[in-house]
Chain A
């Protein structure tokens, strides 16, 4: 069992205690001090002063999800580069080659995703793909 010197983490622990303490105290104080006179109008969601008529529509465009997903994928892979950077002197050219291959695959994937139109927010290119796809599908069916 390697005994790690944890004293270096004391500031973080203090910070942690401070943050938790502050939030608990301020929530508690707000309960205690703030006046509370709820009326039905006050409880409504605030929409620029207009009375909301219906629940917000629940269908969100899928492109948010796509971009978030791609972000997480690339973000996770980048973590490895920290380790390389920290032991750069030790690894030398060999490390550069190893990371180079990895980065090549990373960039290749980025190029693919980019050219595929997955990063286009406003869709003209994406729609073109879909049209091409549909045309190819039609051709296939007529051939069959």
Chain B
């Protein structure tokens, strides 16, 4: 019962946040809408027993990643109005139509039912201890391989961000793109 009430409240909140993210004209509102969605989804995680994922969601996504988003928004400029015209005006209705078509196709293929025969997943309890054991025993290889993703991200950031445009051409020693911050 509690779970149902929570689901309805935060489901609506998540939807509202998602729609705000897409539709808001001010990118800061978009970021706040996304944060609302992330929080609401974190509540679902908790109510499904995945406490650790919920904590990570709040700390990493709503914390670090959203900070970075806001940071980029502020760098680019909040007051810059977004050009919402599209090259292909039929794009949006077309996308919506195709989505409906896709859903209808799946429904037909599934003989008008979404329900399947499989029982629920065999996931472990979502506490931090249980997740730790599971992560480091069964999923240890994917865990180690995420370190490769870290190396790619760092090397890519350095390659694209540290060296300035046209750097390999030499010259351009000055502070042209550097713009020392004013005191």
Contact = CB atoms under 8 A, between A and B. Distances in A.
A and B are partners in one complex rather than unrelated chains: yes
Interface of A: 1-2, 4, 6, 9, 57-62, 64-66, 68-77, 79-80, 82-88, 90-91, 94-95, 98-99, 101-102, 105-106, 108-109, 112-113, 116-118, 123, 126-127, 129-131, 133-135, 137-138
Nearest to B127: A86
15 contacts: A4-B46, A66-B158, A68-B68, A90-B133, A94-B136, A98-B140, A98-B143, A101-B144, A106-B147, A109-B150, A116-B162, A118-B161, A129-B162, A130-B163, A131-B173
Given A4-B46, A90-B133, A77 B179 contact: no
Contacts of A71: 64
Interface string B14-46: 000000000000000000000000000000001
Interface residues of B, number: 58
Q: Is the interface of B mostly helix, strand, loop or mixed?
A: helix
A133 B52 CA distance: 45
Point out which of A98, A108, A123, A138 has the most chain B C-beta atoms below 10 A from its C-beta.
Answer: A98
B158 A62 contact: no
Contacts, number: 161
A65 B177 CA distance: 13
Nearest to B80: A58
Interface of B: 2-3, 6, 46-49, 52, 56, 59-60, 64-65, 67-68, 71-72, 75, 77, 120, 125, 128-133, 135-137, 140, 143-144, 146-148, 150-151, 153-155, 157-158, 161-164, 167-171, 173, 177-181
